[in-house]
C-alpha cells in the first residue's frame, strides 16, 4: 500500500506544472510557410490567430522600386534582406509613400480574446522619423469593440521623438529595436515591459490601467506606419516579428490542483484511501 501511495503522490506532483510549461496559445513569425511567397491579405501563418487584414491608402507606385509596389512585405523573402532591419530576416515589413496623409497597416484577431494572466510578446524595429510631425509608428492591442486598450506609438515632435506607452513616455528613441511584453493583470490593468535591444538603454516597465472601454476584452492587434516614406535599405520601414501569446507563469491546471490535494491528504493520513461500501 505504501508503494502504491508513493506512486500516486509522484504522479500527482508531476502533473502539477505551471501553465507556462505547456505550448503557447498563439504564435507566428515571418518564417512560416504561409509567407513563403510574400505577405498577402488573408494570409494566416502560425497558430492561435485569425488571418491578416492588410490595408494601404497611398500611392503604391510612389514606393521605392525594391518593394515592387507592395507596401506589405517579408524582408528576406520577396524583398531584401535590408540592412536597416535589426530584427534579422525574415521579418514582417511595412512601407509607405512620402505623403503625411498616407498610412499602411496590418491587423489580425486572436483566435480567443486575451485572458487575465496571459502575456503577449513581439519584437519591433521601427522607422526613423524625419519630415512632418504627423509621421510615426503604432502598435495596438484592440478591444472586441474596436477601441484600442493598449497603445505603443511614436510621433515626430512628440515625447522627444521617443516611444510612448498608453500616453506615458518611456525614454526609448523612436528608431530603436524593441522587445515588448504585455501581461494582463486584470480585465482593466496590465504590466508592460519594453526593452531596447539595439542601443542597450535598459528596460522600461509600467504597471498601469488599460485605455479604452472598461471591461472589454482584447481581441485583436494592429501595426501601423504613417507617412514615414519608402527607403532602399529599410531605414524608414517598420519591421516586427515573433508574435507570441503565452499562458500565465504560475497557474496550475485545475485538474492538477485537485490531484495534488488528494495526494497531499492521503500522504498526511499515512494510510491508504478506502472507498466506503454501502451496507
Q: Could you give the 3-state DSSP secondary structure of residue 57?
A: coil
- Kindly state whether residue 10 falls inside one of the protein's structural domains: no
Name the domain count of the chain: 1
Flag whether pLDDT at 211 surpasses 90: yes
pLDDT at 20: 40
- Kindly state whether residue 106 falls inside one of the protein's structural domains: yes
User: Which cell is 155 given?
Assistant: 510621433
- Kindly state whether residue 166 falls inside one of the protein's structural domains: yes
pLDDT tens digits, 237-270: 999 999 999 986 544 444 444 444 444 444 444 4
User: How far is it, in rounded angstroms, from Cα 38 to Cα 246?
Assistant: 27
- Kindly state whether residue 9 falls inside one of the protein's structural domains: no
User: How far is it, in rounded angstroms, from Cα 275 to Cα 257?
Assistant: 21
Q: Give me the CATH number covering residue 231.
A: 2.60.120.200
pLDDT at 264: 45
- Kindly state whether residue 1 falls inside one of the protein's structural domains: no
Q: Which of 9-13, 91-95, 166-170, 229-233 has the lowest mean pLDDT?
A: 9-13
pLDDT at 85: 94
- Kindly state whether residue 258 falls inside one of the protein's structural domains: no
Q: Which of 5-14, 86-95, 183-192 has the lowest mean pLDDT?
A: 5-14
pLDDT tens digits, 171-190: 777 778 889 999 999 999 99
Q: Which domain holds residue 86?
A: 21-249
pLDDT at 129: 67
Q: Residue 242 CA to chain centroid, in angstroms?
A: 8
- Kindly state whether residue 256 falls inside one of the protein's structural domains: no
**Mean pLDDT value across residues 34-48:** 97
- Kindly state whether residue 170 falls inside one of the protein's structural domains: yes
Q: Which of 152, 270, 125, 171 is nearest to 211 (CA)?
A: 152
pTM: 0.79
Dihedral angle computed from the Cα positions of residues 119, 56, 176 and 39, in that order, rounded to the nearest 10 degrees: 70
Amino acid at each position: 500500500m505504501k508503494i502504491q501511495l508513493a506512486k500516486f503522490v509522484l504522479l500527482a506532483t508531476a502533473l502539477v506544472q505551471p501553465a507556462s510549461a505547456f505550448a503557447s496559445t498563439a504564435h507566428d513569425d515571418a518564417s512560416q510557410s504561409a509567407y513563403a511567397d510574400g505577405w498577402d491579405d488573408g494570409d494566416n501563418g502560425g497558430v492561435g490567430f485569425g488571418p491578416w487584414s492588410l490595408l494601404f491608402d497611398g500611392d503604391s507606385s510612389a514606393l521605392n522600386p525594391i518593394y515592387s509596389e507592395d507596401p506589405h512585405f517579408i524582408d528576406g523573402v520577396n524583398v531584401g534582406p535590408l540592412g536597416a532591419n535589426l530584427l534579422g530576416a525574415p521579418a514582417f515589413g511595412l512601407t509607405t509613400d512620402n505623403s503625411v496623409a498616407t498610412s499602411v497597416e496590418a491587423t489580425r484577431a486572436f483566435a480567443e480574446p486575451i485572458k487575465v494572466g496571459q502575456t503577449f510578446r513581439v519584437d519591433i524595429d521601427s522607422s526613423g522619423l524625419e519630415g512632418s510631425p504627423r509621421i510615426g509608428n503604432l502598435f495596438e492591442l484592440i478591444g472586441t469593440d474596436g477601441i484600442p486598450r493598449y497603445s505603443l506609438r511614436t510621433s515626430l515632435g512628440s515625447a522627444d521623438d521617443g516611444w510612448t506607452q498608453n500616453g506615458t513616455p518611456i525614454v526609448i528613441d523612436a528608431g530603436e529595436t524593441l522587445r515588448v511584453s504585455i501581461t494582463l493583470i486584470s480585465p482593466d490593468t496590465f504590466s508592460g515591459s519594453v526593452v531596447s535591444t539595439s542601443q542597450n538603454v535598459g528596460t522600461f516597465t509600467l504597471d498601469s490601467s488599460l485605455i479604452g472601454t472598461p471591461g472589454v476584452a482584447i481581441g485583436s492587434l494592429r501595426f501601423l506606419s504613417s507617412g514615414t516614406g519608402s527607403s532602399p535599405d529599410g531605414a524608414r520601414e517598420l519591421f516586427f516579428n515573433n508574435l507570441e501569446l503565452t499562458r500565465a507563469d504560475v497557474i496550475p491546471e485545475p485538474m492538477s490542483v485537485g490531484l495534488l490535494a488528494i495526494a497531499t491528504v492521503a500522504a498526511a493520513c499515512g494510510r491508504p484511501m478506502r472507498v466506503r461500501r454501502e451496507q
